[in-house]
Amino acid sequence: MLIKCFGAAPQGIEAVIVTIEVHAVPGFEFTLVGLPDNAVKESHERILAALMVNGYNKPRHTLTINMAPADIKKEGAAYDLPLAIGMLAAEEEVKTVLLERYMIMGELSLDGSLQPIRGALPIALCAREAGFKGLILPAANAAEAAVTEGLEVYGANTLLEVVRFLNEECAMEPTRVDTQALFDQLAFTSDADFSDVRGQYKVRRAIEVAAAGGHNMLMVGVPGAGKSMIAKRLPSILPPLTLEEALETTKIHSVAGLMNKRNAENASLIVQRPFRSPHHTITDVALVGGGTNPHPGEISLAHNGVLFLDELPEYKRSTLEVMRQPLEDRHITVARTKTTVDYPASFMLVAAMNPCPCGHYGENNPARPCTCTPAQIHRYLGKISGPLLDRIDIQCEIEAVPYDQLRDTTPGESSAVMRERVLKARAIQSQRFADSKLVHCNAMMSSKMVRQYCALDAACDQLLELTMTKLGLSARAYDRILKVSRTIADLEGSEQIQKQHLLEAISYRSLDRNTWAL
């Protein structure tokens, strides 16, 4: 007897169908093939325990199970449920009529209860694209998978529930999620608001420009000036995620296993832009992704959102350098001996750092003088390479807030007001790049687009030429200045880049100045 049931194997943020073929002949042996890892091989013991606890006998046949395609590695315990169903069908304990209509995934406990799995959303999308009627998986993953329209998603708590459903002994209600209601309920909800920020008008303007164009930003200033506070409020002025962006972001968090924690709060879809803030002790692999069994790194978990690196020079230089290619390409390819996976990594990089090791260089406060030598300052700043700085569009110095501004009880401009201006600028960019599927904001423009949309008149061209010559800027910095100028013009509703727009963009290249720091 040959039985077939179906599961899926996550590959990057997508999934491919896995056909589980169970061949039963007289005997008492068990063989599992198809490139399973140790966790899958151990499923035999978990399945036997779950079957016996739930009143089933040990298999009375020699079972040979093949997990096809055999050249794709099968990882994790999520195959427990389809393997168990295949074994029961081979023992004629489960009807085979419905097996070809449903994809089945889930991890079994020894008592037969189902534990949550990773990658539920990519698996659901794979099931829909393959034409399956529905997907059966643990109840903890049902809300996440149910955002896939056109697919019936059934959440089960135990192996017995699945068996009874496939035997048509009981009915299960498919899980339904109102995606639009999720967007309406959760969009723009944030406890952090720019009205809490006192003073810092220059930095507020710079971060508004960054949000309006999707530009990378670096804040340099003394400790306690509000760098982290401002960065954490950036998501409150960013445009809302589109449904396509929300699905892509959710897929990444799903394969990383982070949606299981969200599902405890009954969240099935990420509708707010991610804000990731890894500690400076993070490793290269944890930042960009990879490992023996590749998983998304922080740059992919920040996809469509913000990656905030506080105390930037404290990160290992090698760790920072691995970000250079993803910052340009907006994706990361992880290659291993037997597999290659591609993760999206289109994020806004926002970083903060002190001007020197003690943090007080340039601060006009006799009570806190800088104690660093010129060599120490150069060494400290030298931890950030020139090529990485080239990829940061906006470099802004931030000073300590004066006492009179700290005492001021008048609320600052709110995030809602700033967001309105950002949304208007983004609307202009959406119309500008309507014919391009890969470009959504000014920061994503190619060099060809920069020449097309960032044309300068003679006076502006002369000004930029003088700046490039005097500061010795690179060709990449040239493009960055033009992109920021285009964003500033969009904020003002100007079709052409004016001189004041270009001057403001040039002012955001603080670390390119020869006079900076010494």
Q: Provide the pLDDT for residue 452.
A: 92
pTM for the predicted model, two decimal places = 0.88
Residue 267: C-alpha distances to residues 127, 177, 295 (Å): 21, 10, 22
Helices 415-432, 201-213: axis angle to 10 degrees equals 30
Q: Provide the pLDDT for residue 401.
A: 81
- φ/ψ of 232, rounded to 5, equals -70, -15
Q: Provide the pLDDT for residue 189.
A: 65
Q: Can you give 207-271 as a three-state secondary structure string?
A: HHHHHHHCCCEEEEECCCCCHHHHHHCHHHHCCCCCHHHHHHHHHHHHHCCCHHHHHCCCCCCCC
Return d(Cα 212, Cα 190) in angstroms, integer: 19
Q: What is the pLDDT along the chain (518 residues), one digit of tens a residue?
A: 789 999 999 888 899 999 999 998 887 788 899 889 888 998 999 999 999 999 888 888 889 999 999 888 898 899 999 999 999 999 999 999 999 999 999 999 999 999 999 999 999 999 999 999 999 999 999 999 998 989 999 999 999 999 999 999 998 999 988 877 777 666 666 778 888 888 888 999 999 999 999 999 999 988 888 899 999 999 999 998 888 898 899 999 999 888 866 544 446 788 889 999 999 999 999 999 988 778 899 999 999 999 999 999 999 988 999 999 999 999 998 887 667 888 999 999 999 999 888 888 877 777 778 888 888 888 888 888 888 888 899 999 888 888 777 777 777 788 999 999 999 999 999 999 998 888 999 999 998 999 999 999 999 999 999 988 888 888 888 999 999 999 999 999 999 999 999 999 999 987 765 444 44
Structure token pair of residue 158: 């135990």
Residue 43: C-alpha distances to residues 279, 304, 438 (Å): 36, 37, 42
Residue 514: C-alpha distances to residues 11, 77, 347, 511 (Å): 47, 57, 29, 8
Return d(Cα 458, Cα 462) in angstroms, integer: 6
Tell how far CA 488 is from the center of its chain: 27
Return d(Cα 426, Cα 422) in angstroms, integer: 6
Return d(Cα 248, Cα 258) in angstroms, integer: 14
Q: Provide the pLDDT for residue 98.
A: 92
**Residue at 333: amino acid letter:** T
The arrangement of strands across the sheet holding 30-33 comes to 30-33, 61-68, 14-26, 2-11, 102-104, 134-138, 152-156
